[in-house]
Amino acid sequence: YKQEYCGCSYSLRDSNDWRKANMIPKIKIGGDTAGLGDRYFSDPLVDAAEESQDVVDEFFSQANEIAETAGNDVMKRKEALK
């Protein structure tokens, strides 16, 4: 089973905002499909690409830029993702 976010509501919100800005479907909780790829680890190469260090680094780089620009203001964060 793949968990696409840490489980807290803020992570879900921020992850889905980031996904929207990067044209990735929202996280889906439950069901047979995931927001990105398969629900389960089924293809080692695809799974590794989804969780590659480059993808993780890009996510946190973007998150840091947004935090520096918008601080804790959720509306400013959403605007920074456009």
The per-residue pLDDT for range 35-79, each reduced to its tens digit, is: 666 677 778 888 788 778 888 888 888 888 888 888 878 888 888
Model pTM? 0.54
Contacts of 60-66 with CB under 8 Å at 24 or more apart are 62/18, 63/14, 63/18
Cross-strand bridge partners of residue 33 = 38
More confident residue, 12 or 1: 12
d(CA 72, CA 22): 21
Q: What tens digit of pLDDT does each residue of 5-46 get?
A: 666 767 788 888 888 888 888 877 766 766 666 677 778 888
